[in-house]
Amino acid sequence: MQQVRWGILGAGRIARQFARDIRHAPSARLHSVGAREHARARAFADDFGIARACGSYEELVSDPDVDAIYVATPHNFHLDHSRLAIRAGKAVLCEKPLTPSSADSEALISAAREADVYLMEALWTAFLPAIRKARSWIEDGRIGDVLQVRADFGFPAPYDTGNRLWNPDLAGGAMLDIGIYPVAFNRLMIERGPEQVTSVVRRAPTGVDAEVSAILQTGDITSILSCSFWCDLVNTGRVLGSEGWIELPSFWRTGTARLYRGAEQVEQFEDHRAGEGFEFEIEAASQDILAGRKQSAIVPHALSLALQDDMHKILAAASDAATA
């Protein structure tokens, strides 16, 4: 079977999940990893049995035996690191958010189009079978007319001004890091953006958004979305309709979708995954690349730009609460 030969740009936590799950993607093979220090790349490569360790990102993207690059660095570096790979003629799967701003996302998409290479935002949630099943239940009318979407994602992150989550110079803040998941869930379920947005933001002493709560109105659909670095939230996605409702626990990584009529659960879907869930997006991106496509049908460039628009509308509409 023909396989895409992948290189990982970055050797952090998210890169490790990619390296663990790629073994479950039949159309993909992990060839190399690059880090700013060769010792770190070598240690990562040894952990996962990777053939080549590169001591610079330039060395990684210039490897003729690499077809595609997974950009796994913090999101304030996504534009530069993705463009580096694009200029080398490599297909790119870039971690979410694609960039910290709409303008940078547009610039990156333009660069990929000009170079005629594949580019996709690594919004792994969109490829999860349980998410696809929930969408099919909606399309089949299993819950009637959609009336509400509710999703939240929060956990207590230790406050450390040196950590990228709290650092404005590193594009810190809850919205870009985890708020994109509820925002994306909303888009994936109703497939359009809001006409009205109301939001409240609690900021950390560094000025980044530590907690965001938003109400979005899209036609007759009300969406209630939230994210937080201060506390654990329910971390569940729900879509409520006139004849039933859908629940997805830990929706951003879910393997389960439940369909209800009133209080009665009438159906449950389980994906029985082999890995941790990244394998679905890795396989989809690899199949796109092998087929010569330049963007994904599930996470097209237009969706990445729409998510940027939604997130920045929420932040712009905010009535800031007191700094915590």
pLDDT digits (tens, 9 = 90+) for 238-286: 999 999 999 999 999 999 999 999 999 999 999 999 999 999 999 999 9
- With respect to residue 214, please indicate whether it lies within any of the assigned structural domains: yes
pLDDT digits (tens, 9 = 90+) for 22-68: 999 999 999 999 999 999 999 999 999 999 999 999 999 999 999 99
Same domain, 151 and 258: yes
Same domain, 53 and 116: yes
Which residue among 96, 133, 294, 313 is the active-site one?
A: 96
Q: What is the pLDDT of residue 189?
A: 98
Residue 86 belongs to a domain with what CATH number? 3.40.50.720
Burial of residue 293 (number of CB atoms within 10 Å: 0-12, 13-18, 19+)? middle
- Domains identified in the chain, total number: 2
Identify which of 51, 50, 87, 92 has the alpha carbon closest to the alpha carbon of residue 68: 92
Q: What is the pLDDT of residue 318?
A: 86
- With respect to residue 157, please indicate whether it lies within any of the assigned structural domains: yes
Confidence of residue 321 (pLDDT cuts 50, 70, 90): low
Residue 268 belongs to a domain with what CATH number? 3.30.360.10
**Model pTM score:** 0.95
313 is catalytic: no
Note whether 255 and 271 are within 8 A (CB).
yes
Instruction: Give the domain range for residue 252.
Output: 126-273+307-320
Look up residue 135 and give its two tokens: 């969408």
Determine the average pLDDT of the residues in 138-162. 97
Determine the average pLDDT of the residues in 187-192. 97
Ramachandran angles phi, psi of 289, nearest 5°: -65, -45
- With respect to residue 134, please indicate whether it lies within any of the assigned structural domains: yes
